[in-house]
Amino acid sequence: MRGDLRVAHGGAAAVPPVAADPGRFQEDCAQAYAASWVARGFSQVTVDSATSRLERVLATFGKPAWDVTREDVDRVVGAWAAAGIAASTRRTYLQAFKGFHEFLAARKAGEIEAAFGVRLDSPLDEFNAARHVANDSAPATAPPSPERLAEFFEFLRGRVATARKFGSAGRDYALYRTLYHAGLRAEEAASLELGDLHFGRGPFGKIHVRFGKGAKTSGPRPRWVPMLDGLDLILRWFTDDVRTRFPGSAALFCDEGGGRLHRGTVRNRLRHLLEMEGRPAADRFTPHTLRHACATHNYERGVDLVAIQQMLGHWQIGTTMRYVNSRVLHQAGEKPQVSRSRWGLNSVPRLPMAAV
């Protein structure tokens, strides 16, 4: 013995495993995973959507993520396929599980092994991962023609003059014109704020899309989108005469309470308006179809593919080529000329479309 110190002979005492409830522990992990998405800059709508998707996947497996085996994945994915769930949806669900499992491996592996005696090993491999097929295929139907969209927007303009609620009718008109002319995703449009409109930037004014879709787990990818075809006039009218009729908030396109529209509301509202218009099912479309129409119609009038790629916020030019109607690309040749200009807007005419 030396002073107050004593030498103890023998090995260190064994540390007993930490007792934990698997369900509660996984719930805490899922909350931490969602918090990491917020820290990377994803919008709350995206975080909520990802969380909901993950909850459905974990409920389907019926066991904690660290206990899921390759056989479990085979069984669940096989059941999804047998139920007719599209390959793109199966891939989305598996991607949600994969991201969460990778988060556990990076942040919680030691705790899981101590509490449950499990060493994390991904149950996903090349044999059970859903193939990426849906987004590589050209759309089954052509996007609506400029003439068809002109008819629809004329219908919306008519509602502005006759609808009982001027504010809602004006918002619908500006919203769907923005989706088409700017090529925005429904979630991107729903996330816009009044401060994202920069009318003095460039020859046409630009929209700052701060929450553009990024690559997997990379966070938002912001971009600037020009207000083409009189969209600047439409949005000036909207902000001056329509938006002021809604409660004050930062949201550009809001509901009657001033809150942001959900992307599902954007989609459902469009479906409702098309039903009101009374056209046959073959003449109807979705918010995403408007993105395809934006790409196709701009390419038809001479805008180069790189400019369209930048406008839509695509990482790869091949994705933009799939958005352009295959008939149009075929008429231009299998390898259309692609200018390397930043926007390719010098030769783009402003179409004679009235703002309101």
Q: Which residues are catalytic?
A: 185, 213, 288, 291, 314, 323
Nearest by Cα to 173 from 82, 237, 246, 125 = 237
Classify residue 9 as exposed, middle or buried by CB count within 10 Å of its CB (0-12, 13-18, 19+). Answer: exposed
Are 246 and 260 contacting, i.e. CB atoms less than 8 angstroms apart?
no
Q: How far apart, in whole angstroms, are the C-alpha atoms of residue 207 and residue 187?
A: 14
How far is Cα 250 from Cα 243, in angstroms, rounded to an integer?
Answer: 11
DSSP state of 219: -
Contact by Cβ (8 Å): 274, 285: yes
**CA pair distance 314, 143, nearest whole angstrom:** 18
DSSP code per residue over 252-299:
SSB-TTSPBPPHHHHHHHHHHHHHHHT--GGG---HHHHHHHHHHHHH
Tell me the C-alpha distance between 178 and 206, whole Å: 12
